[in-house]
A and B are shown apart, each in its own frame.
Chain A
């Protein structure tokens, strides 16, 4: 059920400001693709353009082409809501719904869309999703407690459970571990490994070890110069990127000699 994504000549604007220019890449199905690069170079912007979430920001627009499994995301007739139902997203900061219990949070994607479900079916979805997010054992006895009562790492796994409960084709993760401690981070990295068999995953991270650990392919983004738009410098298999990258700038960034 996982899908591949093709991006060609993608330019992303915020109003008149060109944030990212000329991105071309192919994201394979059932693999983990990592985006790395310094702050402000447009990694998150590109990620958000993959499920049309960047449009939430007023003035944001896209030129170029993004196709998922052959279907273009930016055709005039495309409904962004339908896109987001199939391409889920996990954010930098855990954001469970404060008015809902753990159980309701996992079901939010279904409930908020008024999908009719039998109780047993809903229970199954909750259990499957929480198990998928490695959270089931920690919360199975308190599913009716508020989601906000969990620790930061648990909240983030709850958000992942919420995202996979609607069975998306692709899962986008925007620095999912940046607010978490090493143990929670390791739990989520394990989870990414497991999810890889069913989903196409794209992850933005500032942690290069994390990119090396979890991803199959890596894209390095950078600014051409201060004030210039961001662009994709190199896109290669993670092994190659970290062993002998094609581009000098990539090597400088990965080895810490950045400047």
Chain B
């Protein structure tokens, strides 16, 4: 039975080596230093700063990829190449963001005094004495809140219909299509709609009412709200709906007490982001709200000032021979405060999202 295998004549199947060459850990630093040196050299030879940076970057890309290929092989070198490109893209994307925040904070922060926040543009403000953005802050908050009050219930109910009742019937498909179309409405068109609406209602050829601005903003918010709520409701597993139905709970109670609480974190986040998005709208508000120098608490009559419009309007004064500098400061201050409002809304959305998220208890 037994046969003797002659091991000398049989080819031996060996495991391929599991180790390969590796670059020293400081390789990227070495290549980096050389590339920077090359860039500086290019700069000394009379190339512009931009050109020098490009030269250094190219040198790094070619150097690190080539070295990896020589030592570690082609798969690793492709990895290094793509990784480097990715980091470059990330850095390029960060440049405008960091530069924007830095500039606005650096130039706006000194302007943001309590007096600037509590003063409006009445009295001698136009002559460079005092002046502030109180009226614009209050206008922004009022108009955005009214817009949210209009858009959020409509958006919420539309999304509930689409997910819970529509289930891809024809009406739901038409609504989804219209929502998609609405997403693409330019904001100035929303403003034109609002102004046309109020020309019809008031008969005034150039109406100036706060509620009109809120309607324009709510038009812009609506598709965002519907879309985000829809996505969140779709994420609620059908298992939970079935569990609720099986307990003899009617559909509307299942939606109110099971589906919405499960999705509430995402819904609140989506709605808050939609609000933050429209808080910075300028064009439609310029059309329908006009400009004002003092706070106007009546959304049904008279112009209302908002921060974006204030910034736009002040920008026109920055070239004034005498008060130009004061106006420039006001623009930066208002811009910083607008960013602060939007950032805090984002922050609130995150905190609320965390607080409402279903707890796993693990």
Contact residues of A with B, CB < 8 Å?
A: 51, 53, 56, 58, 81-86, 88-89, 91, 93, 95-99, 108-109, 111-114, 145-146, 148-149, 159, 162-163, 166
Contacts and interface: CB of A to CB of B under 8 A. Distances in A.
A108 B246 CA distance: 11
22 contacts: A51-B246, A53-B245, A56-B242, A58-B167, A81-B248, A84-B246, A91-B239, A91-B243, A95-B240, A99-B261, A99-B358, A109-B247, A112-B247, A112-B249, A112-B253, A112-B258, A113-B249, A146-B358, A146-B359, A146-B361, A148-B359, A149-B361
Given A83-B248, A84-B248, A146-B361, 4 more contacts: A85-B248, A95-B242, A113-B249, A163-B247
B173 interface: no
B94 to A, nearest CB: 36
A109 to B, nearest CB: 4
A112 B245 contact: no
B250 interface: yes
A37 to B, nearest CB: 22
Contacts of A53: 242, 245-246
Interface string B273-309: 0000000000000000000000000000000000000
A106 to B, nearest CB: 11
B358 A98 contact: yes
Contacts of B245: 53, 56, 84
B244 interface: yes
B25 interface: no
B246 to A, nearest CB: 4
Given A58-B167, A145-B361, A93 B239 contact: yes
B20 interface: no
B243 A113 contact: no
Nearest to A142: B361
B144 interface: no
A109 B254 CA distance: 11
A166 B239 contact: no
A86 to B, nearest CB: 8
A47 B241 CA distance: 18
Given A95-B240, A146-B359, A149-B362, A108 B247 contact: yes
B322 interface: no
Which applies to chain B's interface (DSSP): helix, strand, loop or mixed? helix
Nearest to B359: A146
B262 interface: yes
Given A81-B250, A88-B246, A108-B247, A99 B360 contact: no
A115 B243 CA distance: 18
Given A81-B250, A84-B247, A146-B358, A112 B240 contact: no
B361 A163 contact: no
A99 B248 contact: no
B257 interface: yes
Given A91-B243, A97-B262, A109 B248 contact: yes
A148 B237 CA distance: 14
Interface in B341-362: 358-362
B243 A97 contact: yes
Interface string B230-243: 00000001111111
A86 B247 CA distance: 8
Nearest to A99: B261
The 4 closest A-B pairs by CB, nearest first: A149-B361, A85-B248, A98-B358, A146-B361
B167 A81 contact: no
> Which residue of B167, B239, B248, B253 has the most chain A CB atoms within 10 A of its CB atom?
B248
B358 A109 contact: no
B255 to A, nearest CB: 11
Nearest to B360: A148
Contacts of A82: 248
Nearest to B250: A81
B257 A112 contact: yes
Contact of B361 (A51, A113, A148): A148
Interface in B249-276: 249-250, 253-254, 257-258, 261-262
Contacts of A89: 242, 246
